Structure 1
Amino acid sequence: MLGNIYEDRVKFLLSRFRERLWVKPLAVCLLSIVAVFFAKFADDTKLIDIVPSITSEAIETLLSIMASSMLVIATLSVASMVSAYASASRTATPRSFALVISDDASQNALSTFVGAFIFSIVALTAVKNNYFQNAGIFILFVLTVIVFAAVLFMFVRWVDRIARLGRITSTIDKVESASAKAFSIRKMAPTLCGVSVKSGKKGKAIYARTIGYVQHINIEAINTWAANAELRVVVAALPGTFTAPDKPIAYLYSEEGEAEEDNVDCVIESFQIGGDRIFDNDPRFGLIVLSEIASRALSPAVNDPGTAIDVIGTLLRLFSQWNEPVDSNKVKDNCYKNVEVPEILIEDMFDDAFTPIARDGAGLVEVSIRLQKALGSLASLKDSNGHESHSTQMKESAEYYSRLALKRSKLAMDIEEDFLAVEKAAKFNSAD
């Protein structure tokens, strides 16, 4: 049982390697070393009598140029990336740092530059020591030309990307992309492949041994343990929930009565808890990060309402995606019958997304009007069956937060005409 938990945890940790800046460069460095010694095998084949002769001096010159230039370019790329990361944390929010650092184009560029440097150093050392014969020299020359072409292509692509990396619009796009992915995953498994919470029973409370955020839950391991113990587990802490000594992460109960199981280590170990929230399994985190970006843009020090308006449009797209119908054949819920998992509440998502913007932008007429229009659009969304969603949670939440934002604007705005414009935009709300 614990073996399955540790295997799942290893897979989870490996998936987090994408955010580590050293992983790709290390892999490319190892590959470049293998490529150099791969050329040696050509000396033991018939290619030695076929390929044209290339002087070692010619390839030494090319490798020397590459070795000296790649180190400079790699250093320059690191400095540029660090500057972009600092800019992203300063202009957007520190919570977006993980997404910026995981930018594939920047990591691929750094990996290519460092790998080309290692390749040229190892190849140059081998050539100067007469390690290769005629065929090996030719293959090494071909590899050098390929590496040189890859460096040129990657450098041009990297210059275009680094000009955008760390910019506020690029950061918003990255957060939107990560949030949309998390939304899509959760829509396919609203209860994380468990079953919906059916009963009001809570039973025996289980507490985590670590203080932090729930990052991942191994529902399969919990279900297997619960089935063997003839118990039911109710998950109380979804990914993104902050765990504390007084906050249960799950409850145990039996169909016959109170649960008597004492050894709950399997359940506790199935909760991966860390110091930070992550985007993968936590759709609400993306909404929080976007609202933080908007709040910073609305601060007096920044005074950038255009960014807040851009974020409101992004939130509208994400909630529209959340409301889209899902193919019932692709839904993965009800796989694990012994684990009950609550679904994410739409009102909590609205609170994460719109409360900070409504609070910090209450006195700005352009932000308040755009917020009211976005909430009006969400209130008018059709449900999965194509009908107007007059009584859905989406409509109710949109109307509630529209009224709340209107109250904030009334208190914050000094000019009556500004408030009347906001009030006009909020006319969709049936309560007004």
Structure 2
Amino acid sequence: MSRWRWFLLQYMRKLWVRATLIGVLGIAGAGLAALADRIVPPHLVFEIGVDAIDSLLSIIASSMLAVTTFSLSVMTAAFWTASANITPRATRLLAEDRLTQNVLSVFVGSFLFSIVGLVVLKAGAYSAQGRVVLFTITVAVLAMIVMSLMRWIDHLTRFGRVGETLERLEEATRSAFEARLKEPCFGGRPLINTENGLPSDTMAVTSPETGYVTHFSMEELACAVADSGGKVYLAVMPGRFVYRDTVLAWVHFRTPPGADTDRSAVSAAVRDAFTLETYRSFDEDPGYGISVLGEIAQRALSPAVNDPGTAIDVIGRMARLLTLWAEGARSRPDDEIAYPDIYVPPLETAELFAGAFEAIARDGAKMIEVQLKLRETLRSLGRLGDESFRSAARHQAELALKRAGAALVLDEEMRRLEMIRIGD
């Protein structure tokens, strides 16, 4: 994904962008009615009283301001509830909820439309044709408000609840996995071994600041070394926290030092291709979704909450996501590689398993129902994918069994766990 598409995607998820666009549309609708005499033929006009339109616009203006304020308070309460009872990392997905943003934008746009319409109507700027057009638009706006209210009421019954938030997280993580399955190395070649697989005369490009890598532009990386015919070996992936001296990538030049290639310019171009932010993003970082799901399970297993059912639910969602990754992963033939001069580390399966199950196995070590579900899941996953995938499942199963052995009191419970054999 190019940088401009990435930033456009991020901005389109912001509430103020949608509200501004629909607000401008509402103002334009009220202004368009003032020009109706140039568009609408007089014989199509029927008589509309000013008082009728004035009453409708006044009702919309007074009610939409109150409804918008109430909706914002409900949304804020949902964010607080998610932060306190689920995990603060989930509030970003709630804030990017399309239905919530669309409904609030409709309310704001309707309010602006009614205010502008009232001002222009009181000023006497609408002709007979203009009043007809304004009345038609007002009726359409009222219908849109009613539909938005119905959808909003239904949405509020689920918004911010644990189950609904888990659905959002699973869907966001699934989308990230599907994107990586489509482009396992973002269109580049896989970089398997960074210790022994790099040329000896590579130049390290370090991070200019501290933060999380959320995106890098393959197009910009390819352009940076296109003239020199060099190669780029990436050292970090989205989700990695980097410091000012952390290596982002290594660049190998085919031309010897002192040639016409401006190595400092290439280094700056490679550095600029990376986007660093304060927080991780779900888009290109499936490991983040896995870790946030694990956080929810951790909180559910805490003594203050004591909700093993939610932890078991999370384990099932982890199983679905990792099964998707195991069954869909495949290597790309050379003719399908879009950026052959860029080498990208593949997604580490062992890290995914650690983020998914280590904390659950630790905090749920005393709960036999959680341990049984976890071991059954790892047994199933241990039969899928390649050898690295199966090995990661076996490793987590061994760790979970050791933790359970140190925490469970009854020998009968340990025997139940040991009866679930991994690898059979």
TM-score normalised by the shorter chain: which range applies?
A: over 0.9
The equivalent position to 2:20 in structure 1, one of 26, 29, 51, is: 26
User: How many angstroms apart in 2 are the aligned matches of 1:48 and 1:236?
Assistant: 69
1:101 has 2:104 as partner = no
What is aligned with 2:322?
Answer: 319
The offset of 1:405, in angstroms, is 0.4
Listed as ranges, the matches of 1:26-425 within 5 Å are 26-197=20-191, 200-201=197-198, 203-254=202-253, 261-263=263-265, 264-325=267-328, 334-381=337-384, 383=385, 392-425=387-420
What is aligned with 1:386?
Answer: none
**Residue-by-residue CA offset, 1:267-321 (whole Å, 9 max, x unaligned):** 1111111111101111111111111111111111111111111111111110111
After superposing on structure 2, the runs of 4+ consecutive aligned residues of structure 1 that deviate more than 3 Å are 7-11, 254-263, 325-333
What amino acid is the match of 1:43?
A: D
Of 225-234 and 252-261, the range deviating more from structure 2: 252-261
Of 25-34 and 222-231, the range deviating more from structure 2: 222-231
Structure 2: gaps of 5 or more residues:
none
Equivalent residue pairs, number: 415
The offset of 1:146, in angstroms, is 0.8
The offset of 1:394, in angstroms, is 1.7
The offset of 1:127, in angstroms, is 1.3
What amino acid is the match of 1:147?
A: V
SS at match of 1:72: helix
The offset of 1:10, in angstroms, is 3.8
The offset of 1:126, in angstroms, is 1.4
- In the superposition, relative to structure 1, how do residues 122 and 262 fare at CA in structure 2: closer, same or farther (>3 Å)? closer
| Aligned CA-pair RMSD | 2.3
- In the superposition, relative to structure 1, how do residues 331 and 408 fare at CA in structure 2: closer, same or farther (>3 Å)? farther
Of 246-255 and 353-362, the range deviating more from structure 2: 246-255
The offset of 1:251, in angstroms, is 1.3
**Residue-by-residue CA offset, 1:99-144 (whole Å, 9 max, x unaligned):** 1101111111101111111111111111122111111111111111
The offset of 1:328, in angstroms, is 8.0
Of 27-36 and 40-49, the range deviating more from structure 2: 40-49
What amino acid is the match of 1:59?
A: I
User: How many angstroms apart in 1 are the aligned matches of 2:129 and 2:119?
Assistant: 17
SS at match of 2:276: strand
What amino acid is the match of 1:168?
A: V
The offset of 1:70, in angstroms, is 0.9
The offset of 1:43, in angstroms, is 1.7
What amino acid is the match of 2:50?
A: S
What amino acid is the match of 2:360?
A: I
Of 59-68 and 324-333, the range deviating more from structure 2: 324-333
Of 278-287 and 39-48, the range deviating more from structure 2: 39-48
**Residue-by-residue CA offset, 1:319-362 (whole Å, 9 max, x unaligned):** 11112236989999521122111101111111111111111111
SS at match of 1:229: coil
What is aligned with 1:4?
Answer: none
CA contact (8 A) 1:195 1:333 kept: no
SS at match of 2:345: coil
- In the superposition, relative to structure 1, how do residues 285 and 127 fare at CA in structure 2: closer, same or farther (>3 Å)? same
TM-score by length of 2: 0.92
SS at match of 1:340: strand
CA contact (8 A) 1:231 1:259 kept: no
What amino acid is the match of 2:159?
A: L
CA contact (8 A) 2:207 2:245 kept: no
User: How many angstroms apart in 1 are the aligned matches of 2:235 and 2:107?
Assistant: 47
User: How many angstroms apart in 2 are the aligned matches of 1:259 and 1:296?
Assistant: 57
Structure 1: gaps of 5 or more residues:
1-6, 384-388
Percent identity of equivalent pairs: 36
User: How many angstroms apart in 2 are the aligned matches of 1:259 and 1:162?
Assistant: 65
- In the superposition, relative to structure 1, how do residues 414 and 327 fare at CA in structure 2: closer, same or farther (>3 Å)? closer
TM-score by length of 1: 0.91
CA contact (8 A) 2:397 2:422 kept: no
CA contact (8 A) 2:206 2:249 kept: yes
What amino acid is the match of 1:34?
A: A
CA contact (8 A) 2:318 2:356 kept: yes
